[in-house]
Amino acid sequence: MKDATDPEGGGLLLIEDTPSLQMIYAGLLRKAGHSVHCEATASKGLAAFHALRPSVVLLDLMLPDRDGLQVMADILHAAPATSVIVITANGSINKAVEAMRAGAHEFLVKPFDEPRLLAAVTNALGASADMGNGTRRSDADADTTRPPPPFIGTSEPMQAVYRTIRSVARSMATVFITGESGTGKEICAEAVHQISNRARGPFIALNCGAIPVDLLESEVFGHLKGSFTGAISDKPGAAAAADGGTLFLDEICEMDLNLQTKLLRFLQTSTIVPVGATHPRKVNVRIVCATNRDPREAVRRGHFREDLYYRPHVVPIHMPPLRTRGADVLEITDSLLSKMASEEGHDFHGLHPRVRELFLRLPWPGNVRQLINVLRNVVVLNRGPLVTPDMLPRDLLAEAHVSELGDHGSVAAGTAGAPSLDAALRALEGKPLAEIERLVVMAAIERNGGSIPRAARELAVSPSTLYRKRDSWDAQER
Amino acid sequence: MNSLSLISAPRSGSETPRQPFDSATLDSLVALCSGVEGAGLLAQLRADFERLEAGVRRCATDRDVVALAARSHEIKGLAATLGAGPLTACATAVQDACDHAHAAALMGDLTELLLAEIGAVIAALKRLEGHDAAGQDHMGPDMTGPDGRAGGQEGLHTPDRAGPGRSGLEKTEYS
C-alpha cells in the first residue's frame, strides 16, 4: 500500500469538510491501494501537510475556516513539487480556473466518478515522483531558453510561449491557443502534449472549421452503426480516440452553437454520448483548443458560448505572428532550407544577403505556413546554392513592394500623426477578415461625415451594399 | 439558473414514496465504501443532510444569504455525488439566487423547496437504513455506535461537533 508518509509511494492528503464525501473519496482511494490521510479544515489540513509532507493533496475549495486557494498557495509555497488536485462543485468553475492558474495540478468537478478520481491521482503521483526524483521530462527541466520540439526560434515573444508550455506540463489544465493562421497553433498543441505526462497517449487533432456541421458531432463524439443514414459501422470519434491523451480542437469558434453545448457538457463531465447511444461513456482526455479569431469578440457577437469560452480558457497561449518574431524568420529558414534541399536533392545552403534583409522586413501575413510554402517553391523550382531575389515567388515580391510603399509613404508624406500602411495593417492584426471589412467601411462612412453614398463612392461599391452591411452589423450588435 | 421545472416537490399521501436519488449510484457508493469506511455511509449521509437541513433553516430564519449560499453549495456537491438530481437542481437554484441580489424575493420559496427536497432525501435514507436494520443490507451489519456516531471512522477527521445529541460525524457550521 502506498503510504501518505512514504516518499517512494507518493502519499495522499484529503482535505474535504463534508464527512460523507470524505468517506466516499477516502474509501475509493483506499480501495485502489492508496493510503490517505483525511482532514476537514484548512488549519488541520495544513498541519497534517507539514507533518506528513504528502506528494499529492486533494483539496476542497470551500473549507469552513479558510479559502481553499489560500491553503493551496501555502502548500505550494512550502513544497512546490506537491501536486494539488482541487475539488469543487459546479458553481466554483471560476475559482477552479483561478486555481489552475495558481498552480493546481487538476480540478475535479463534483460529482466525479471512480475512474476520473483515480486517473487524476495517478497522474498527480507520477508528476510529483518525477519532480521529486529530478527525473522530470527532459523538456520541462531543460534549458528554458531552448525551444521545445518541434519549435524553432528564440525570440522573446516565443520565449514567453515556451515558458507557458513548460509551466503547464505537469498540469491537466485546458489550454486555449490563439493566433493568426499559420503561426503554429497545432505545433504548440503538440508541444503541450509531448511535454506532458500524457506524451505516451494519443494526440488527436480535429479542425472544427473543416468538417461539415452535420458531421461534426459524429467526428467528435462518434456514432453507433445505424444511428443515421450512412452510419454503416460504429465509429469511436475523436474524444474516445484521444482517451488517455490529448484532444486538440482547432478553430473551435467555428463550431456550431448546438454542438458547443455538447462540448461544454463533455468538458464538465468528461463523458461522451456517441450519436445513437443511450449511455454516456467516461473518457480521460486533456483538451487543447485553438482559434485564429478573437474569442471574446466571437462571444460578444453570439457566435461562441460565453461559458464555453471560460471553461477551456484556463491557460491561454497567444502565438505571435512571424513579423513580430525578429530573427526567428532566418532561424526557421535556415533549418527548413537544408531539410527541404535534402528532400528534393538540391544543393541549397543559405540566403543571399538581400533575401535575408527582405525576409526580415516582410509582413508575412500567412506567417510560418507562408514561409514554408515560399521555401518549398524556391527549392523545388531552383537548384541553389543560394536563394536569390529572382527565385522568390512574384506575389511575395509584390508584398515586399507594398511593405516598402507603406514605409516610404509614412516618410514621404511627412504628415504628423499620419499612420503608415504598415502601422495600419498592424492595428488589424489578429482580426478576422469580416471584422476588418467592418472597420474599413465604418471608417469610410465616418470620413465622409456619415454619408453612405459618399463612402460608397470612395470604396467603389453601391450604396445599397453599404446599407445592407450596416443593417447586418447593427442586427448582430443587438 | 436551473429551471424550476426540474424541481419536483415530494409527493404525499398513500403514493409510493419517491426515490429522490439514484439508487444505483447510492448502491455503488455503498459498495465502494464496503469495509471500514462503508460501514456507516448511510448513517453519515443522513447525518450530513440533517445538519445541512438545520443549517438552511437557521440561514432562512436569520436571512443570512451568505451562509445560505455556502450551505447550498455544500448540498449541491453532496447531492450531485448521490445522484439526487432534483435536490442538486434546487440547491443550485438557491445558490444562484443568493448570488444575485435581485433574487431575495425568490429566496423564500426556493428555500422551502430546498428543505422539502432535503427532507425527501433524509426520509429515503432512513427507509434504507430501516431495510438494513431488517437485514436487507446495502452494507452489512449496522455498525453505528451507541452514541449515534458511524462506526469504523478511524482516520477520518472532522471539525468539532456542534453539540450533543446529533448522530453521525458532524462538522461545525460556519456562517
Task: State how far the Cα of A220 lies from the Cα of A238, in Å rounded to an integer.
Answer: 5
Are B78 and A20 a contacting pair at CB < 8 A? yes
pTM: 0.49
Backbone angles phi, psi at B19, to 5 degrees: -85, 110
Report CB contact under 8 Å: B171, A40. Answer: yes
Q: What is the distance between the alpha carbons of residues A176 and A291, in angstroms, rounded to a whole number?
A: 8
* Banded model confidence at residue B12, pLDDT cuts 50, 70, 90: very low
Are A403 and A422 a contacting pair, CB within 8 Å?
A: yes
Which residues of chain B are within 8 Å of residue A37 when distances are taken between CB atoms? 155
Q: Is A115 on the interface with B (CB under 8 A)?
A: no
Residue A284 contacts residue A112 (beta carbons within 8 Å): no
Tell me, what DSSP letter sits at residue A235? B
At B17 the pLDDT is 65
The pLDDT assigned to B173 comes to 40
Cα gap A187→A104, rounded to integer Å: 25
Q: How confident is the model at residue A321, as a pLDDT? A: 93
Strand partners, A5: none
- Burial (CB count within 10 angstroms: exposed 0-12, middle 13-18, buried 19+), residue B147: exposed
Provide the number of CB pairs (under 8 Å) joining chain A to chain B: 103
Mutual orientation of helices A114-133 and A19-31 as an angle, nearest 10°?
A: 70
Q: Rounded CA gap, A266 and A132, in Å?
A: 33
Instruction: Give Cβ neighbours of residue A259 (< 8 Å, ≥ 6 apart).
Output: A213, A216, A217, A220
Query: Which cell numbers hold the place of B42?
Result: 448511510
- pLDDT tens, chain A, 478 aa long: 444 444 444 579 999 999 999 989 988 888 888 889 999 999 999 999 988 889 899 999 888 888 888 899 889 888 877 888 988 875 555 666 677 767 788 878 788 777 778 888 887 886 665 555 444 444 444 455 577 878 888 888 998 888 888 878 767 778 889 998 889 999 999 988 888 878 888 898 888 877 777 777 788 888 887 777 777 777 788 888 888 889 998 888 888 888 888 788 787 777 788 888 777 778 888 889 998 888 888 888 888 888 777 776 778 899 999 999 989 999 999 988 888 888 888 888 889 888 898 889 888 888 998 899 999 988 888 887 889 888 888 777 766 655 554 444 333 333 333 345 566 676 677 778 888 888 888 888 877 777 787 788 888 887 778 878 887 887 776 6
Å from A113 to nearest chain B CA?
Answer: 9
Question: Which amino acid would we find at residue B136?
Answer: Q
pLDDT on residue B16: 62
How close, in Å, is residue A24 to chain B by CA atoms?
6
A11 and A35 Cβ atoms separated by less than 8 Å: yes
Predicted pLDDT of residue A48: 92
The grid coordinates listed for B57 are 433553516
More confident residue, B15 or B27: B27
A23 → closest Cβ in B41, B73, B174:
B41
Question: Whole-angstrom Cα distance, residue A169 to residue A199?
Answer: 10
Closest CA to B73 of A222, A88, A256: A88
- Determine the pLDDT at residue A198: 81
CA distance linking residue A148 with residue B130, whole number of Å: 61
- State the CB neighbour count (10 A cutoff) for residue A265: 14
A64 with B77: Cβ contact below 8 A: no
CA distance A10 to chain B (A): 18
Assess whether pLDDT exceeds 90 at residue B50.
yes
Encode pLDDT of B120-147 as tens digits: 999 998 888 776 555 444 433 333 333 3
Test A37 with B74 for CB contact under 8 angstroms: no
Q: Does A95 touch chain B (CB under 8 A)?
A: no
Write the single-letter amino acid at B140.
Answer: G
Are A22 and B158 an interchain contact pair (Cβ–Cβ within 8 Å)? Answer: yes
Contact B73 A91 (CB under 8 A): yes
Give the amino acid at A286: R
CA A325 distance to own-chain centroid:
19
Least confident among A175-179, B12-16, B89-93: B12-16
Q: Do A110 and B77 touch (CB under 8 A)?
A: yes
Average pLDDT, chain B: 69
Q: A246-250 and A271-272 as β-strands: parallel, antiparallel, unpaired?
A: unpaired
Picking from B95, B156, B170, the nearest residue to A23 by CB comes out as B156
Q: B158 vs A90: CB contact, 8 Å cut-off? A: no
- Give dist(CA A204, CA A245) in Å, integer: 8
Interface test with B, best of A18, A37, A93 (most B CBs within 10 A): A18
Q: Which of B14-28, B53-67, B135-149 has the lowest mean pLDDT?
A: B135-149
Q: Give the gap in angstroms from C-alpha B98 to the nearest C-alpha of chain A.
A: 12
Taking a C-beta distance cutoff of 8 angstroms, is the pair A179, A292 a contact? yes
Do B37 and A17 count as a contact with CB atoms less than 8 A apart?
no
Does A21 contact B29 at a Cβ distance shorter than 8 Å?
no
Q: HSE-up of B125 (CA within 13 Å, CB side)?
A: 22
Q: For residue A321, what is its C-alpha cell? A: 505572428
Q: What is the ipTM of this complex?
A: 0.72
CB A189 within 8 A of CB A288: yes
Query: How far B14 CA sits from the closest chain A CA (Å)?
Result: 31
Q: Is A26 on the interface with B (CB under 8 A)?
A: yes
A269: chain B residues, CB-CB within 8 Å? none
The beta-strand segments (E) located in A129-189 are 175-178
For residue B108, the one-letter residue type is G
How much is the pLDDT for B159?
A: 42
